[in-house]
Amino acid sequence: MRRLFALSLYLPLSLLLLSLSACALFPHRDPLNINVVGIEPLPSQELEVRFAVKLRVQNPNETAIDYNGVALDLEVNGQSLASGVSDQTGSIPRFSEAVIVVPVSVSAFSVLRQTFGLGQTQTLNNLPYVLRGKLAGGVFGTMRFVDRGKLSLPEATTGTW
C-alpha cells in the first residue's frame, strides 16, 4: 500500500518535471514582422478576382525561419474578403527579411457583401482590416501572424502628367 501511495505521488510530479524540461528544448522565437508591400492583379475566373499579395516578412530571431507553405485570410470591416494559399518553400535568414508572394481570391459574393455593408456614403478607404496568416514549418515550426490596420488607398489624381 505504501508503494502504491509513493507511486501515485511521484508519477504526477515526474510527469510535470518532464513536461517543463521538454518546453525548454524548444527555442523561444519573437513574432515575425509582416507588412503588405504590394498587390498586383492576376488572371481571374468568372465570379472571382485574383491578386498577388506581396508580404515583407522580417525575422527578428537569432535562427532562420524555414517554411514550406503560406496561408492568408483577409477581413475588411469585420467581414471576410479574400483568402489564399501557396505551397512555396523557403527560408528567412536570422535578422533578415524576405518578400513572399501569395495569390489570393476574392469572390463576387464577398464583394457584394462588402458593398452592401458600406452603404452609399462610405468608401473602402480608412476601413479596418485584419490579415491573418501562417508560415507552415512542420509540427513545431509553424509561425502564425496577424497584421491589423486601416486601408490606405491611393487618391485619384487629376490633371495632366
List pLDDT tens digits, range 94-105.
Answer: 999 999 999 999
pLDDT greater than 80 at residue 145: yes
Q: Give the predicted TM-score (pTM) of the model.
A: 0.69
First and final CA of the chain: distance in angstroms? 92
pLDDT reported for residue 36: 84
- Tell me the per-residue pLDDT of 62-118, one tens digit each, with 9 for 90 and over: 999 899 999 999 998 888 889 999 999 999 999 999 999 999 998 877 777 666 666
E-assigned strand segments in 29-155: 33-42, 48-59, 65-67, 70-76, 79-86, 90-92, 96-107, 128-135, 143-150
Cell of residue 15, nine digits: 510527469
The band of 30, judged by pLDDT with boundaries at 50, 70 and 90, is: confident
- The residue with greater pLDDT, 95 or 26, is 95
pLDDT greater than 50 at residue 160: no
pLDDT reported for residue 18: 60
pLDDT greater than 90 at residue 5: no
d(CA 128, CA 46): 28
Domains of the chain: 28-150 (2.60.40.10)
Q: How far is CA 159 from CA 125, 145, 156, in A?
A: 22, 41, 10
The answer to whether 50 and 43 are in contact (CB under 8 A) is yes
pLDDT reported for residue 107: 82
pLDDT greater than 80 at residue 37: yes
Using a 10 angstrom Cβ sphere, with 0-12 exposed, 13-18 middle and 19 or more buried, the burial of residue 47 is exposed
Residues composing the chain: 161
